[in-house]
């Protein structure tokens, strides 16, 4: 199937926001007005097209990034609707790698919320152009101007309002278009499909004039020729302003700000116009750069069909019917269904069985996909972050870094026959989600799953049951503690065995010292004069690493340590690699005990948003959880409280917060750092570990 539109008419955009700011609702409206769906699906009714997983329908939240394509003003818009919940932020990060532009949605009541700030920083890192949409203007406490000021203060790119609202809360009826200086008013009875262009109401004329001046000035500042014209007092044409604003948006100098209420069907069509007018096509963004695995040199791929094929796999999904679906963005060249490609990350040849154009979880077979387009392939054995390319022109694009899991729980299948099936499913899940890990506890033989939060693991267990019919028993969530040493110490490890014939001999002397948090492990070989032969040094390091992995105090990994190997001895005949490995392990355990070992617990950065009436109760509750209040901020009728709280105290917090705030409080939690646990907690954890 050849292209439906030329590459300059393509827009690859993501919809990104904090949980509950209205991303999926906005996407549903976009699909309705572009004729992609015939009925508006509501999130709260569990009927949203893009929230197709049963878990999403029940919880009314987005869990997985869904892709779809629609058409507006002759342009093809590929949309990725991403989750707002912090447990699933991996979906946002990997989507940004393949997007050219983003619609950032902010709630007119809550303003710039923590997950939006985090996602904004990711957009900075990936250098993605964006427009902002201040949503929920029909809600009690909505204030467009307060949220606009928050964007100015908290985010990195200067906003420029191209609309202001007419009315607010219950009286919100439409917007003033500052480019054309007219009013757009939506007609209630047509589900927002029809609107009227009117003169600006008398009481809004002065405000509209003031904000238009600000807009013109901000745009003129980004273009020398326009600035000159503006300073000379000449009128700038709408076309000149639009062209300059498009350029400034693509160059990340400005962010156009629009407003509306997606739920009340107001403001979505001008938002689509802004996507077409201001967000970049694949030709407007810098070409992708990667490394040629054969030469190690950097190479560039231009977004053109006649360039060698190069695509990035940003998401992998196990589909019960089609097998593994690999979602990819083509950065250069084109590929046909049935052709062979090279997975350059794994250096493996793959055949693309089928090519699919995705619309949430429904799909359409296509024969070819070309530069700039997003599609899914069936039959490719790949993982998130892999590059697929032309065999003759190999290239590897930069892999993404994902955060480490902070929470784990033990699971076991209810029946013996599900044991093998479970390990296959866990492998599929790990391929799909780089922040999900499964492992075996060597001591207890239990299967452990690790993830980013309680909800993350809950969803995974739910999916095992629904998608694969595996019933599992689940243990209580466990905290990923770590261990660290307190001071410097020297110790020796001697492993000597004499059993008829050849014996074993390994002898090392090491010094350990603590490093700053987050420094990891440093091994220094300070052996001089060959007291230990070179070939026995790596086994010593291996033995130390193994001892660190198994812990000294309570079996948790030891982190942030420097180990210096400076002395020892060997035996001409009896010394072996295994003997030195064991000696290294013994020496480390001994040195760590001498240096003193402490337990480190993960501390979470928690941000709670609550109506003002409940602030005292929420703070009291956080204090009782060993929380440290880091700051507070008032946002109209809502207060945002920032705190650092140990993860072990945060289990079940969602339910607690709901009852404290009559269901009106929300919170977001992400890993901050590891910190030394108090003595009472250490004793409790060590006690539990030694009794299991």
pLDDT higher than 90, residue 501: no
Burial letters for 399-423: b for 16+ Cβ neighbours within 10 Å, e otherwise?
Answer: ebebeebbbbbbbebeeeebeeebe
Lowest mean pLDDT among 216-225, 269-278, 309-318, 565-574: 309-318
50 pLDDT band, cuts 50/70/90, is very low
Which pLDDT belongs to residue 37? 45
537 pLDDT band, cuts 50/70/90, is very high
Other Cβ atoms closer than 10 A to 461: 17
Lowest mean pLDDT among 1-10, 268-277, 356-365: 356-365
Which pLDDT belongs to residue 21? 67
Of 19-28, 37-46, 493-502, 588-597, the range with the highest mean pLDDT is 588-597
Which pLDDT belongs to residue 61? 37
Q: Provide mean pLDDT across the span 295-324.
A: 84
pLDDT in tens, 624-646: 999 999 999 887 778 889 999 99
**pLDDT above 70 as % of the chain:** 87
Q: Provide mean pLDDT across the span 196-223.
A: 92
Which pLDDT belongs to residue 513? 94
Residue 602 CB contacts under 8 Å (≥ 6 apart), including other chains: 406, 479, 480, 481, 646, 647, 671, 673, 674
Query: What is the residue whose two structure tokens read 């110490």?
Result: 489
**pLDDT above 90 as % of the chain:** 34
Among 260, 217, 208, residue whose Cα is nearest residue 236: 217
Among 148, 269, 144, residue whose Cα is nearest residue 204: 144
* H or E stretch covering 93: helix 89-96
Q: Locate 323 and state its tokens.
A: 């097998």
DSSP three-state, residue 2: coil
Distance between CA atoms of residues 348 and 341, nearest Å? 9
Residue 179 near residue 241 (C-beta atoms within 8 A): yes
Name which residue leads in pLDDT, 53 or 558: 558
Question: Phi/psi at 288 (nearest 5 deg)?
Answer: -80, 145
Among 2, 6, 133, residue whose Cα is nearest residue 76: 6
Among 232, 254, 259, residue whose Cα is nearest residue 134: 259
Q: Provide mean pLDDT across the span 413-430.
A: 82
DSSP string, 458-488: HHHHHHHHHHH---EEEPPPEE--EEEE-S-
pTM listed for this prediction: 0.68
Partner residues linked to 641 by β-bridges: 608, 632
pLDDT higher than 60, residue 141: yes
Q: Provide mean pLDDT across the span 453-477.
A: 79
pLDDT higher than 80, residue 143: yes
Residue 409 near residue 455 (C-beta atoms within 8 A): no
Q: Where are the alpha helices (DSSP H) in 409-449?
A: 418-432
Which pLDDT belongs to residue 211? 95
Name which residue leads in pLDDT, 407 or 110: 110
Q: Where are the alpha helices (DSSP H) in 251-368?
A: 268-278
Which pLDDT belongs to residue 616? 92
Q: Provide mean pLDDT across the span 140-159.
A: 90
565 pLDDT band, cuts 50/70/90, is very high
Partner residues linked to 670 by β-bridges: 605
pLDDT higher than 90, residue 320: no
DSSP string, 59-81: HTS--S-EEEEEEETTEEEEEEE
Which pLDDT belongs to residue 86? 45
Q: Locate 670 and state its tokens.
A: 């992400």
Residue 24 CB contacts under 8 Å (≥ 6 apart), including other chains: 43, 48, 50, 51, 62, 81
Q: Provide mean pLDDT across the span 429-443.
A: 77
pLDDT in tens, 203-214: 999 999 999 999
191 pLDDT band, cuts 50/70/90, is low
Output DSSP code: residue 43.
Answer: T
pLDDT higher than 90, residue 156: no
Lowest mean pLDDT among 60-74, 104-118, 591-605: 60-74
């Amino acid at each position: 199937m050849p292209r439906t539109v030329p590459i300059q008419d393509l827009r690859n955009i993501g919809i990104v926001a904090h949980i509950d700011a209205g991303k999926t609702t906005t996407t549903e409206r976009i699909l309705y007005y572009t004729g992609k769906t015939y009925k508006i699906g509501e999130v709260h009714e569990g009927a949203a097209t893009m929230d197709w997983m049963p878990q999403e329908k029940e919880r009314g939240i987005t869990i997985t990034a869904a892709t779809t394509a629609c058409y507006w003003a002759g342009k093809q818009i590929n949309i990725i609707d991403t989750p707002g919940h912090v447990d699933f932020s991996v979906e946002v990060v990997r989507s940004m790698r393949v997007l050219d532009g983003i619609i950032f949605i902010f709630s007119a009541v809550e303003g710039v919320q923590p997950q939006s700030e985090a996602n904004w920083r990711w957009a900075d890192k990936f250098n993605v152009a964006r427009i902002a949409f201040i949503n929920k203007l029909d809600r009690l406490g909505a204030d467009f101007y307060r949220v606009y000021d928050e964007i100015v203060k908290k985010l990195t790119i200067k906003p420029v309002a191209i609309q202001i609202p007419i009315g607010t809360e219950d009286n919100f009826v439409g917007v003033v278009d500052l480019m054309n200086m007219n009013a757009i008013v939506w007609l209630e009875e047509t589900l927002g499909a029809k609107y009227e262009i009117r003169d600006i109401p008398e009481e809004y004329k002065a405000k509209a004039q003031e904000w238009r001046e600000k807009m013109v000035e901000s745009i003129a500042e980004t273009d020398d020729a326009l600035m000159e014209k503006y300073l000379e007092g000449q009128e700038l044409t709408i076309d000149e302003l639009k062209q300059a604003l498009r350029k400034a948006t693509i160059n990340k100098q400005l962010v156009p700000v629009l407003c509306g209420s997606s739920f009340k069907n107001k403001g979505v069509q001008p938002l689509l116009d802004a996507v077409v007018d201001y967000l970049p096509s694949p030709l407007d963004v810098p070409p992708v750069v990667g490394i040629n695995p054969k030469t190690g040199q950097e190479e560039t791929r231009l977004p053109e069909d006649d360039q060698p094929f190069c695509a990035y796999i940003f998401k992998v999904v196990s589909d019960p019917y089609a097998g593994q679906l690999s979602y990819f963005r083509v950065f250069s060249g084109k590929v046909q269904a049935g052709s062979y490609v090279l997975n350059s990350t794994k250096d493996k040849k793959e055949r693309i069985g089928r090519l699919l154009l995705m619309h949430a979880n429904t799909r359409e077979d296509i024969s070819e996909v070309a530069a700039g387009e997003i599609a899914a392939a069936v039959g490719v054995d790949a993982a998130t972050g892999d590059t697929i390319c032309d065999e003759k022109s190999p290239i590897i694009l930069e892999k993404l870094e994902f955060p480490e899991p902070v929470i784990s729980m033990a699971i076991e299948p209810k029946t013996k026959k599900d044991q093998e099936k479970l390990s296959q499913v866990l492998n599929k899940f790990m391929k799909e989600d780089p922040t999900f890990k499964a492992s075996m506890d060597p001591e207890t033989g239990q299967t452990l799953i690790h993830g980013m939060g309680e909800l993350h693991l809950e969803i995974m267990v739910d999916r095992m049951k629904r998608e694969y019919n595996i019933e599992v028993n689940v243990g209580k969530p466990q905290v990923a503690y770590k261990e660290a040493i307190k001071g410097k110490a020297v110790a020796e490890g001697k492993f000597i065995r004499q059993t008829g014939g050849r014996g074993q001999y390994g002898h090392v002397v090491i010094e350990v010292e603590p490093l700053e948090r987050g420094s990891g492990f440093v091994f220094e070989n300070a052996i001089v004069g060959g007291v230990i032969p070179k070939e026995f040094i790596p086994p010593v390091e291996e033995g130390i690493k193994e001892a660190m992995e198994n812990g000294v105090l309570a079996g948790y990994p030891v982190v942030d340590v420097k180990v210096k190997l400076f002395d020892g001895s060997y035996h001409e005949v009896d010394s072996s690699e295994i003997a030195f490995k064991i000696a290294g392990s013994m020496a480390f355990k001994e040195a760590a005990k001498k240096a003193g070992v402490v337990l480190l617990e993960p501390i979470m950065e928690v941000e709670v948003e609550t109506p003002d009436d409940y602030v005292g109760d929420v703070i009291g509750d956080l204090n009782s959880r060993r929380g440290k209040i880091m700051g507070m901020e008032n946002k109209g009728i809502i207060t945002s409280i920032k705190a650092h709280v140990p993860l072990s105290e945060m289990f079940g917090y969602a339910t607690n917060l709901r009852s404290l705030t009559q269901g009106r409080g929300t919170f977001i939690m992400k890993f901050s750092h590891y910190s030394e646990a108090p003595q009472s907690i250490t004793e409790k954890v060590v006690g539990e570990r030694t009794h299991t």
